[in-house]
Amino acid sequence: MSLPVYFAPLQGLTEDAYRRSHHEICGGIAEYYTPFLRLEHGEIRKKDNLGIRPEFNLSIPLVIQVIARDADELEGLLSGIRRHQNSWTDRKVELFGEGVAVPVSWADATRVRVDINMGCPFPLQVDHGRGAGLLACPEKVEEICDVIRQHPEFDFSVKMRLGVQQPGEWEQILPILNATPLRHITLHPRVAKQMYKGLCDMTQLQTFAEVCKKPLVYNGDLLNMDDIHRIEEQFPMLAGVMIGRGLLARPTLAREYQTGISVDEKELISELLKLHESLYRYYASVIPGEDQLLCKLKPFWEYSERLIGRKPWKKIHKAGNMRNYLSAINELA
Ligand SMILES: Cc1cc2nc3c(=O)[nH]c(=O)nc-3n(C[C@H](O)[C@H](O)[C@H](O)COP(=O)(O)O)c2cc1C
């Protein structure tokens, strides 16, 4: 049996439009994780709040990721999520009309899925005790776990790294997480100072798995089917895999793994173009300026160099206006 594949949260990339398009066109994903939501002046940041609107996430198996440095921040984020849920029944009628069957959204769930970020490596977060910064503060993790215990109406998971500076820092955190009701723990086996580069530490992953009492999800550098098969053979205790950049580069990867049917390069490019077309249509309808639209769309190709080739990739990235950009995309077909 294959493992569930979770789409990793990628700030600025896997927003609601991407999730909807990917789910419709490519599939194979058990859960989509939102990029982290954070508080700004005591409220969920406006842009983050918009992205989780139930009506923008219909039929999507969604996990809302939050980043918090302490109990107060987590409570603030959970209140914001609950506000969406409480108003959803009325909003549904407002948007779709009375008695109309509306596809299920995360806000219909009895227990909403929430993931807590304990892995973000950016100094802006870490230096303020958020993301991976929590790994150096067991007392703050205790506080956060107390909040988790007080809210059984949410179904929590944690996404974490091995540490901030040293790969053994998880040892003081994992016993606290082991004693907390969690759906699973996702481990990205790097330390924060590595950011997203350098080797994943598989020896630490093994030790972590031996101590971990929660279902364990692996995340890091899974780029193709062989990578997924290798990790599931090497670590048979895994309960799932989470993939980020590998799915951006090859959006069909999860479906290929689930069905055992690989797609050839031509099909893959055709699916990538369909996905892009869907994103382009959506963003062109909500982003007024051409420059802003270009800035929104270009990052979508960031990880596609290997698939589309260096020259077309450079052409896309160098395009200074929409006309040149779309002409570079059309040449891929
Ligand atoms: C541009 C970018 C944005 C990211 N945003 C988030 C985020 O919001 N929350 C999070 O937990 N991880 C975030 N990550 C980390 C990814 O979820 C993932 O852990 C990392 O990319 C390693 O997995 P991969 O090798 O499959 O991409 C981000 C990574 C990148 C490159």
pLDDT tens per residue across span 227-265:
999 999 999 999 999 999 999 999 999 999 999 999 999
Report how far ligand 1's centroid is from the alpha carbon of 7 (Å): 10
Question: Is there an atom of ligand 1 within 6 Å of 105 CB?
Answer: no
Report which protein residue has its CA nearest ligand 1's atom 6. Answer: 10
CA distance 275 to 305: 16
Question: Is there an atom of ligand 1 within 6 Å of 299 CB?
Answer: no
Per-residue pLDDT of 295-322, as tens digits, reads: 999 999 999 999 999 999 999 999 999 9
Q: Where are the alpha helices (DSSP H) in the chain?
A: 16-25, 46-51, 71-96, 123-126, 138-150, 174-178, 202-211, 225-234, 245-249, 253-259, 265-286, 290-297, 305-308, 310-318, 322-330
Question: Is there an atom of ligand 1 within 6 Å of 244 CB?
Answer: yes
Is residue 126 scored above 90 in pLDDT? yes
Report how far ligand 1's centroid is from the alpha carbon of 175 (Å): 25
Torsion of CA 280, 286, 287, 288, to 10 degrees: 120
Per-residue pLDDT of 145-196, as tens digits, reads: 999 999 999 999 999 999 999 999 999 999 999 999 999 999 999 999 999 9
Contacts of 198 (CB under 8 A, 6+ apart): 190
pLDDT of residue 248: 97
Confidence of residue 1 (pLDDT cuts 50, 70, 90): confident
Question: Is there an atom of ligand 1 within 6 Å of 188 CB?
Answer: yes
Per-residue pLDDT of 12-58, as tens digits, reads: 999 999 999 999 999 999 999 999 999 999 999 999 999 999 999 99
| pTM strictly above 0.85 | yes
Contacts of 297 (CB under 8 A, 6+ apart): 276, 279, 280, 283, 325
Report how far ligand 1's centroid is from the alpha carbon of 93 (Å): 36
For the chain, domains (ranges, CATH) are 5-259 (3.20.20.70), 265-330 (no CATH)
Q: Check: CB of residue 250 under 8 Å from CB of residue 223.
A: yes
pLDDT of residue 165: 96
